[in-house]
Structure 1
Amino acid sequence: MSRYLVTGGAGRLGRSVVEVLAAAGHEVISVDRVQVAGLPALQVVADLSDASSVRTLLVRHRPDGIVHLAGIAVPFSAPEEVTFRTNTSLAFAVIQAAQATGVASVLLSSSPTVIGYNSPRGWKPSALPIDESHPLAPWNAYALAKVAIEEMVAATVRSSAEVRIGVFRPCYVISPEEWQGAPTQQGHTIRERLDDPNLAAVSLFNYVDARDAGEFVLAWLAQADTIPNGTVFFVGAADSLVREPVGEALTRLVPGIGPLAAGLGAADPVFSSERAARLLGWRARRSWRTQLVEQPGRLGEPAGVGGEARK
């Protein structure tokens, strides 16, 4: 059994990460601004804004590894300067404190937004599906902060061989209660996102179940010393969050995609998680087709999701 500290452990993704780690038999410390009932972790309310406070926290709890999820989670939910300053300063403080106190492994959360999709000045991918080799093109403070965090990780690898460190880019996170109809981080439901594909087109129909993301974290922590240090991973579902063939939806709703979308299978993901499968043996196990709570089908369809019965 290991002891892991999860920053942002009370959040939408953090709760599932904590639960997966705890279910695997690990001791978990959740550090957040709030506490939530029923979380299987020691919950600590703490300020992570500077390295000295984080260092004190790590000296007290002596974790074997850190999963850093804390920060402003939604683009444009705060002023741009606040988003950039908050997200970069938290990550920098965690990395610095981890190095100073000898934490063995640190995994930090980034985002698929680093590649620049949904830019108001136009954007098109270099290839589909999108993998970790895709050029970075951040156009807002949230994405720019995530690029900065990835560069912090790369700098840490160049400067130190002591800590095992990595980055994952979880796709649009869907928590378990959102399959039951709770609103997503944008305020609408998953069914509304499926009924109006414009809502999901802005993020290229990417998504991941929070529990699958938690299982990725577990796999990374278990194998951090067997993979290249500083590796970046996309972490997404094995399909796309859209009822129609994803290539057709992209061509219709995302300017600039054009013929690149023709090579995608009807339900393929736009973001590839093959690196995670190859290096860690991780694949997402959950899909909207099996997780979304059954409701009456649309006109002319049987009950189920998009006319398909749940498995």
Structure 2
Amino acid sequence: MSRYLVTGGAGRLGRSVVTGLAQAGHDVVSVDRLSVDGLPATQLVRDLTDAGALRAVLAEHELDAIVHLAGIAVPFSAPDDVIFQTNTSLSYTVLEAAREAGVGAVLLCSSPTVIGYNAPEGWAPTDLPITEDHPVAPWNAYALAKVAIEDLVAAQVRIGNPTRLGVFRPCFVISPEEWDGAPTQQGHTIRERLDDPALAAVSLFNYVDARDAADFVLAWLSLPDAAPSGTVFFVGAADSLVAEPVGDALARLVPETAALAGRLGPRDPVFSSDRAERLLGWRARRSWRTERTELAERAELAERAEPGA
């Protein structure tokens, strides 16, 4: 059994990561600004913008690794300077504190937004599907901060930081309750995003079930020799969040992709997770087709059970 620290463990993704690690038999410490009832972890309520608070946690707990998820999770949800300052400084503090404390590994959370889609001045992919080798083109503070975090990790590898480092770019995270109709981080339900493809087109139909992302985290932690330190991974579902063939939807709703959209099969993801599958053996097991179908069946049964139905 290993002991892992998850920053942001009470968040949309963090809850599933904590739960997945605990179910795999590991001891988990969650650090967040709030606690969550029933979370299978030692929960510490701390403000990690205070660097001393994190160092105190690391001094108190002997850890095998840190999974760093804490930060402002939604673009434009705070002023640009606050988003950039908060997200970059948190990551820098985590990396420095982990190195000082001798923590063996740190996995940091980035985002597909580093690619630059949905830019107000237009954007076009250089290839489809999009892989980790695609050029980054951040255009807002959130994406700029994520690129800075990835660059910070690369710099740490170059200077010989002995901590094993990794970066993952989880696609649009869908937590388990969101399959049951809870609003997503953009305020729409999954049904609304499927009924109106334009809602998901702005992010190129990318998504991932939070439990699948948690499985990726576990795979990365469990296979220390599978990928060089500093490797970046896309982590997404094995299909796209759209009912019609994804190439057709892209060409219609994101015209800048039209020249390359035909390279995608009808159900292909726009963002490839092949690197994660090749190096770590990870592949998403859940999709809107499996989870939403189950939801629809449960809803139909409930309607039939109602008086007068």
Which structure 2 residues correspond to residues 1-311 of structure 1 after superposition, within 5 A? 1-292=1-292, 293-295=294-296
Distance, in Å, in 2 between the alignment partners of 1:289 and 1:225 is 34
SS at match of 1:278: helix
SS at match of 1:166: strand
Supply the AA of the counterpart residue of 2:14. G
SS at match of 1:5: strand
Quote how far apart the aligned CAs of 1:161 are: 4.1
- Which of structure 1's runs of 4+ aligned residues deviate more than 2 A? 50-53, 293-296
The question of whether the paired residues in 2 share the 8 Å contact of 1:108 and 1:168 is answered with yes
1:141-186 deviation line (CA, Å, top 9, x unaligned): 0000000000111011111241000000000000000000000001
Distance, in Å, in 1 between the alignment partners of 2:70 and 2:118 is 24
Supply the AA of the counterpart residue of 1:203. S
Supply the AA of the counterpart residue of 2:174. I
The question of whether the paired residues in 1 share the 8 Å contact of 2:91 and 2:149 is answered with yes
Q: CA RMSD in A?
A: 1.2
Distance, in Å, in 1 between the alignment partners of 2:183 and 2:124 is 29
The question of whether the paired residues in 2 share the 8 Å contact of 1:181 and 1:189 is answered with yes
Quote how far apart the aligned CAs of 1:255 are: 2.3
Quote how far apart the aligned CAs of 1:191 are: 0.4
| Residue of structure 1 in register with 2:304 after alignment | none
The question of whether the paired residues in 2 share the 8 Å contact of 1:173 and 1:209 is answered with yes
1:239-264 deviation line (CA, Å, top 9, x unaligned): 00000000000000002111200011
Supply the AA of the counterpart residue of 2:146. K
Normalised by the size of structure 1, how large is the TM-score?
Answer: 0.94
The question of whether the paired residues in 2 share the 8 Å contact of 1:88 and 1:148 is answered with yes
1:202-232 deviation line (CA, Å, top 9, x unaligned): 0000000000000000000011333211000
Distance, in Å, in 1 between the alignment partners of 2:128 and 2:120 is 21
- Count of aligned pairs between the two proteins: 298
Distance, in Å, in 2 between the alignment partners of 1:161 and 1:83 is 27
| Residue of structure 1 in register with 2:305 after alignment | none
Quote how far apart the aligned CAs of 1:51 are: 3.3
Supply the AA of the counterpart residue of 1:233. F
The question of whether the paired residues in 2 share the 8 Å contact of 1:51 and 1:96 is answered with no
Contiguous gaps of at least 5 residues in structure 1: 297-302, 305-311
Supply the AA of the counterpart residue of 2:265. G
Normalised by the size of structure 2, how large is the TM-score?
Answer: 0.94
Distance, in Å, in 2 between the alignment partners of 1:20 and 1:34 is 19
SS at match of 1:225: coil
SS at match of 2:17: helix
SS at match of 2:48: coil
Supply the AA of the counterpart residue of 2:170. P
Distance, in Å, in 1 between the alignment partners of 2:59 and 2:158 is 25
SS at match of 1:263: coil
